[in-house]
C-alpha cells in the first residue's frame, strides 16, 4: 500500500461551507481516507504546531450541515486546549515519535498568509513531493468582482505556489493563467504545472439497459405548476447573478411563465447587490425562490426537479455545477469561454459567446418553449462519460509520483 501523504485541511476542517474549494477538499479527503492514503492535518494556531485532525475536526468534515459563511470556527475548548499545550511546551505530534514515511503533501486550499509562513515546517516532514491545487485567478483577472482581502493577498499567494514541487491546476485555463503570471514576474525556477480537470459527484442511481450510466430522465417525473430554471452557485460578483436576474425579469414582464430557483450562500462583500435584487424581485411578486446554502441531498433533488440549469458565471477555475447538472441529465446554459467552456464542449449545454441579459433571456425562453431541444440536450448530457472523484484522485496521485522532491 502507498505510504500516506499529508493532506492540509486547515480551513475546510473548521468550516461548514460547501463552496467549490471546500467540496474539492472534502472529496479528496473521502477518497484518500478510504484508501488509507492520507493523513489529514491542520495548523493549530493556538498550540502553534501542525498536528493530525482531532475527532471533532474529522466529524466536521463528515457532517452534512451547511453553514452560511466560509469562515473557520474553533470551539472554545479546542482553543484552550491548544494554548495549554503551548504553555506546557509540548512538542509537535510530528516530532515525537518521528513521523512515519509518507508520500508527500497535498495542499487543496487557497491558503492564507499565516499558513504560508508555517508551510515550510510541514514541508520539512514530507518525504515525497509537495503538490498544491490551483483553482482560479479571479482576483487577478477581475479584482473588482473579488473580495478586497483576497485581491490584496493574491499576488503573494501566486508567488508562494512556486515553492511547491508541482501545481495541479484544475483546468487548462487556470494552468495557462498561472504560468503566464509567473513568466510576467520573471520567475525562472518554477515547478511543473499540470492541468488535471476535477471530478464530480456521480449520480448514485443504479444503471439499467436503457440508461447505462444511471442518469435520471431529462424531465421531472411530476412537473411543478411552473417549470423551474435552476442556478446553483454562490451569490458573488463573478457569478453574474445580476445579469441572470435582469434576463428573467425581462421574460416575466413579457409573460413567460417559469420559476427561477437559486441555491448558494451569499458572499458578504460581493454578493450584497445581487441579494438585494433578489429580495426586490420577490417583493414585486415574481416567481423567484432563493434557498441559500443547502445540503447535497437538497441540491440533487433540485437538479432532478428542474427543466434545465443556468450557470451565468464570468470566471471559474472549473465550474462544478455545469458538469453536475449534466451528470443528472439536465441541460445547462453557460458561457462558451474559459474553464466552463471546456466543460460545455462535450455536449448537453447551450454555450453562449456573451453572457448578457439578452443572450440569457433568449436561451432560457427557447429552452422553455422547445421540449424537443431540451430532450436532445439531455440525451447528449447522458451520453457523456464524466469523471468521478475516484478517477480524479487516481490521476492526481499518478502525476504526483512523477515529481521529484526539491
pLDDT at site 169: 96
**Which top CATH class is 5-199+389-400?**
alpha beta
- Show pLDDT as tens, one digit a residue, over the chain (406 residues): 356 789 999 999 998 767 778 889 999 999 999 988 889 999 999 999 999 999 999 988 887 666 556 667 888 888 888 898 888 877 666 654 444 456 799 999 999 999 999 999 999 888 899 999 999 888 888 888 778 888 899 999 999 999 999 999 999 999 999 999 999 999 989 999 999 999 998 886 533 333 334 444 445 544 557 999 999 988 888 889 999 999 999 999 999 999 999 998 888 788 889 999 999 999 999 999 999 888 888 999 999 999 999 999 887 888 889 999 999 999 999 999 988 998 898 899 999 999 999 999 999 999 999 999 999 999 999 999 999 999 999 999 999 999 988 8
* Contact residues for 385 (Cβ-Cβ < 8 A; gap 6+): 213
Cα–Cα nearest to 251, from 220, 218, 287: 287
Whole-prediction pTM: 0.85
pLDDT at site 220: 53
Domain 228-383 has CATH 3.30.390.30: no
Backbone CA torsion sign across 98, 99, 104, 105: negative
pLDDT at site 211: 35
Residue 112's CB is within 10 A of a number of other CB atoms, namely: 15
Runs of H (alpha helix) within 306-370? 320-327, 338-344, 357-369
Question: In whole angstroms, what is the distance from residue 56 CA to residue 39 CA?
Answer: 15
Please report, for the chain, the start and end positions of each structural domain, with discontinuous segments joined by +.
5-199+389-400, 228-383
Question: In whole angstroms, what is the distance from residue 288 CA to residue 8 CA?
Answer: 39
pLDDT at site 332: 97
Q: Give strand pairing partners of 350.
A: 333
Same topology, domains 5-199+389-400 and 228-383? Answer is: yes
Burial class of residue 323 in the structure, from the number of CB atoms within 10 Å of its CB (0-12 exposed, 13-18 middle, 19+ buried): buried
Kind and range of the H or E element at 40? strand 38-44
Residues 38-67, buried b or exposed e (16+ Cβ, 10 A)? Answer: bbbbbbbbebebbbebeeebbebbeeeebe
pLDDT at site 63: 75
Question: What is the separation of C-alpha 210 from the centre of its chain, rounded to a whole number of angstroms?
Answer: 32
pLDDT at site 222: 45
Kind and range of the H or E element at 308? strand 308-311
What are the CA-CA distances from residue 132 to residues 55, 288, 340, 341, 396 (Å)? 25, 39, 22, 24, 11
pLDDT at site 403: 95
Question: In whole angstroms, what is the distance from residue 327 CA to residue 345 CA?
Answer: 14
Amino acid at each position: 500500500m502507498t505510504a500516506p501523504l499529508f493532506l492540509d485541511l486547515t480551513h475546510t476542517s473548521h468550516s461548514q461551507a460547501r463552496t467549490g474549494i471546500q467540496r474539492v477538499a472534502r472529496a479528496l479527503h473521502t477518497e484518500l481516507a478510504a484508501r488509507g492514503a492520507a493523513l489529514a492535518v491542520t495548523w493549530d494556531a493556538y498550540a502553534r504546531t501542525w498536528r493530525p485532525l482531532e475527532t471533532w475536526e474529522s466529524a466536521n468534515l463528515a457532517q452534512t450541515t451547511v453553514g452560511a459563511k466560509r469562515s473557520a470556527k474553533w470551539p472554545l475548548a479546542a482553543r484552550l486546549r491548544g494554548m495549554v499545550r503551548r504553555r506546557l511546551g509540548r512538542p509537535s505530534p510530528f516530532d515525537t515519535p518521528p513521523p512515519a514515511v509518507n508520500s508527500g503533501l497535498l495542499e487543496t486550499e487557497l491558503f492564507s498568509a499565516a499558513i504560508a509562513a508555517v508551510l515550510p515546517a510541514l514541508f520539512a516532514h514530507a518525504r515525497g513531493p509537495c503538490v498544491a491545487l490551483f483553482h482560479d485567478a479571479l482576483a487577478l483577472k477581475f479584482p473588482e468582482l473579488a473580495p478586497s482581502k483576497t485581491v490584496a493577498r493574491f499576488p503573494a499567494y501566486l508567488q508562494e505556489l512556486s515553492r511547491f514541487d508541482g501545481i495541479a491546476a484544475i483546468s487548462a485555463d487556470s494552468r495557462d493563467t498561472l504560468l503566464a503570471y509567473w513568466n510576467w514576474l520573471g520567475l525562472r525556477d518554477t515547478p511543473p504545472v499540470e492541468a488535471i480537470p476535477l471530478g464530480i459527484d456521480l449520480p448514485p442511481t443504479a444503471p439499467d439497459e436503457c440508461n447505462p450510466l444511471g442518469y435520471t430522465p431529462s424531465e421531472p417525473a411530476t412537473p411543478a405548476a411552473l417549470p423551474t430554471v435552476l442556478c446553483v452557485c454562490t451569490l458573488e460578483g463573478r457569478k453574474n447573478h445580476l445579469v441572470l436576474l435582469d434576463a428573467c425579469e425581462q421574460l416575466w414582464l413579457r409573460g413567460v411563465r417559469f420559476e427561477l430557483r437559486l441555491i448558494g450562500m451569499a458572499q458578504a462583500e460581493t454578493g450584497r447587490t445581487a441579494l438585494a435584487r433578489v429580495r426586490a424581485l420577490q417583493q414585486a411578486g415574481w416567481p423567484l425562490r432563493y434557498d441559500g446554502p443547502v445540503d447535497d441531498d437538497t441540491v440533487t433533488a433540485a437538479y432532478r426537479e428542474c427543466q434545465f440549469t443556468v450557470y451565468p458565471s464570468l470566471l471559474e477555475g472549473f465550474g462544478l455545477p455545469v458538469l453536475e447538472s449534466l451528470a443528472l441529465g439536465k441541460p445547462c446554459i453557460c458561457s462558451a469561454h474559459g474553464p466552463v467552456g471546456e466543460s460545455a464542449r462535450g455536449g448537453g449545454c447551450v454555450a453562449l459567446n456573451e453572457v448578457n441579459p439578452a443572450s440569457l433571456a433568449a436561451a432560457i425562453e427557447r429552452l422553455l418553449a422547445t421540449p424537443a431541444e431540451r430532450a436532445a440536450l439531455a440525451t447528449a448530457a447522458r451520453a457523456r462519460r464524466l469523471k468521478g472523484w475516484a478517477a480524479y484522485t487516481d490521476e492526481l496521485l499518478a502525476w504526483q509520483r512523477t515529481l521529484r522532491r526539491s
